[in-house]
């Protein structure tokens, strides 16, 4: 006869049921943190590449504008030589993108993910067009259009 301690846990499958109770695809990883981390990495790589192109004298500021339009918008609006706020925005931009995409992955909403990505792309492109079309003196000098 089996003693009381020999009974299987509820569910009847013993230790293997408890270990495999949630399949790998149903576990929710920390997508928000991963998105922020990937956004930081992408943003830093783009920042170094764009600043190398701009500061190295190899071209205009257009790659920086395309990669970081919000920083260029702030530069144009503030008309200041202080790069502090634009650099902070350049660093935060892709982290925010990663956070937004990671949040949609965390919640498991496919339609929300698609809408978020489309919104990010549309707003990013609109900001690039604003920077390239509106003739702000500070931005135009950085783009080499004196």
| All structural domains of the chain with their residue ranges | 29-142
94's CB contacts (< 8 A; 6+ apart) are: 39, 40, 42, 43, 46
The pLDDT of residue 18: 47
Report, as an integer, the average pLDDT of 33-48.
Answer: 89
**Tens-place pLDDT, residues 59-111:** 667 788 888 888 888 877 776 666 777 788 888 999 999 999 888 888 877 78
**Tens-place pLDDT, residues 95-109:** 999 999 888 888 877
């Amino acid at each position: 006869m089996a003693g009381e301690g020999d009974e299987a846990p509820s569910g009847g499958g013993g230790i293997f049921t408890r270990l495999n109770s949630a399949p790998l695809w149903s576990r929710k990883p920390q997508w928000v943190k991963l998105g922020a981390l990937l956004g930081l990495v992408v943003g830093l790589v783009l920042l170094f590449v764009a600043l190398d192109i701009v500061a190295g004298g190899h071209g205009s500021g257009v790659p920086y504008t395309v990669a970081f339009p919000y920083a260029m918008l702030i530069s144009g609006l503030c008309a200041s030589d202080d790069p502090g706020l634009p650099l902070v925005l350049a660093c935060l931009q892709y982290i925010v993108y990663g956070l937004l995409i990671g949040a949609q992955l965390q919640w498991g909403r496919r339609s929300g993910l698609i809408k978020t990505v489309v919104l990010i792309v549309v707003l990013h492109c609109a900001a690039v067009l604003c920077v390239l079309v509106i003739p702000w003196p500070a931005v135009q000098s950085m783009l080499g259009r004196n």
